[in-house]
Amino acid sequence: MSRYQDLSASELARELQQLRDHYCVFQQRGLTLNMARGKPSPEQLDLSMPLLDFPAHAAGSSSDTCAILSRELRAGQPDDLRNYGELLGITEAQELMGAIMEVPAKNVVVSGNSSLALMFDLVSAAMSHGVLGSTPWQRLDSRPKFLCPVPGYDRHFAICAYFDIEMISVPLNSDGPDMDKVESLVGSNALVKGIWCVPKFSNPSGVVYTDAIVDRLAALRPAAQDFRMYWDNSYAVHDFASPIRLANIRNRCEHHHNPDLWYQFASTSKITFASGGIAALSSSQNNLQDIAKRLGLRSIGPDKLNQKRHSLFLPDIEAVYAHMAKHAALVRPKFAVVLRELDNSLGGLDIGTWTRPDGGYFISFTGLLGTAGRTVELAAAAGVTLTPAGVTYPYGQDPQDANIRIAPTYPTLPALEEASKIFTLCVRIAALEQLLRQDRTKEAETGQRRTKEDKTGHAG
């Protein structure tokens, strides 16, 4: 296919007319397809149904279910799992989540069902009470600031917006955040209090931070002593094939004499059940002591029964990998469908680029400047819901209006095939409209210059 930029205005117009005819056919079919939601599909959720067999699962084939359960639940013991207590989570769950985050269990707190909630709580506590004795951020003379690698995760940005934390975009390159910018901002401004990092299979680009980038992050010399990296390792074990290793943030920070610089988050939302799983936070002992004090105020203990269920279902990291291989078998073909359609329908047109992640939940598509909003609008009118344009940037504003997040996991394969076709069609229409608009603007400018030249009698 020829590059659209090489076509004349009349060729562009002809192509646009043909695609619009094709688009009308889709529109008339009244489809309702959705590529917006980064959710596991029902088939993925089915993989974890044995979790619900607990207590039968715990008892195995034994007939003495009650006795085995009593033992598993430590009935009558001081740490009876059916009772209050164990604020930091049960040991087996700390070990499980520690193995996923590659940190010792003693550095892990397992709490609640959502890692996002843990992030929110940490930011909230820093606003009201500071970090390890620092000035509460809400009492600072100026607004605190967070660095936001872009494109990034809209819910991180929403937390900042909620607390009126100023967001500073930094480019997320194929190896991780632009570290020259990060180092300069973090090192020079004590109002810069944090950076959001999704270091493995970032949302939405699927980028995995290289060792060199992780090392530079761990070696930061922040102007603010209460600066922290919010290391959201949501996709730590969500590889499509053999696991890609991410440098260990705890070890690297310790190596660079920055032991308290990191908070790491993970959950089983996309391993077992989304919002029916377990969530965890890991950090240095210093940070955890501070966090534990608060945990004891907001709750008398976590849901240890769900933690127990999870540790019986996933007794070690090998079990996690085996389980994630089943997820990969379901998810990989869906990414392949979208990528094939992008390659076939847009390859060579030079109107967009897209990522080819080795894991995670998203593909990041970048179209021509000024076309993302229009593409999403066209897709919606043809029955395909996409993530709204702009959300992958702070304040919901993509300065280039070019990035769109594609979420292939939830729809069925046939629905995804159809939705991808409509998506590429909309990308092409939006690009052609944009190129024709540019053409008309250029023509108008040339016309104006000529008129001016005619009037003044010479070319300037």
Ligand X SMILES: Cc1ncc(COP(=O)(O)O)c(C=O)c1O
Catalog residues that contact ligand X under the rule CB under 6 A: 38, 114-116, 153, 198, 203, 232, 234, 267, 269, 279
SS3 146: strand
Shortest distance, CB of residue 348 to ligand X, whole angstroms? 32
Shortest distance, CB of residue 409 to ligand X, whole angstroms? 10
Shortest distance, CB of residue 229 to ligand X, whole angstroms? 14
Cβ closest to ligand X, residue 386 vs residue 425: 386
Cβ closest to ligand X, residue 130 vs residue 199: 199
Integer-rounded Cα Rg, in Å, for the chain is: 26
Count of other CB atoms within 10 angstroms of residue 443:
11
Shortest distance, CB of residue 114 to ligand X, whole angstroms? 3
Cβ closest to ligand X, residue 153 vs residue 157: 153
Q: Find the DSSP H helices in 34-133.
A: 42-46, 56-59, 65-72, 91-101, 115-129
Angle formed by the axes of helices 115-129 and 285-298, to 10°? 90
Shortest distance, CB of residue 176 to ligand X, whole angstroms? 15
CA–CA distance, 421 with 382 (Å, rounded to integer): 11
**Within its chain, how far is the Cα of 375 from the centroid?**
22
Cβ closest to ligand X, residue 13 vs residue 158: 158
Cβ closest to ligand X, residue 114 vs residue 135: 114
β-sheet bridge partners, residue 169: 148
Shortest distance, CB of residue 277 to ligand X, whole angstroms? 7
With left for phi above 0 and alpha for psi between -120 and 50, is residue 437 left, alpha or beta? alpha
Which of 220, 209, 293, 294 is closest to 259 using CA atoms?
220
Cβ closest to ligand X, residue 26 vs residue 240: 240
Shortest distance, CB of residue 40 to ligand X, whole angstroms? 10
Which of 246, 325, 307 is closest to 47 using CA atoms?
325
Cβ closest to ligand X, residue 279 vs residue 391: 279
CA–CA distance, 390 with 404 (Å, rounded to integer): 8
With left for phi above 0 and alpha for psi between -120 and 50, is residue 164 left, alpha or beta? left
Shortest distance, CB of residue 167 to ligand X, whole angstroms? 16
Q: What are 108's two structure tokens?
A: 């892990």
| AA identity, residue 156 | H
Cβ closest to ligand X, residue 234 vs residue 366: 234
Q: What are 298's two structure tokens?
A: 């907001």
Which of 156, 172, 177 is closest to 395 using CA atoms?
156
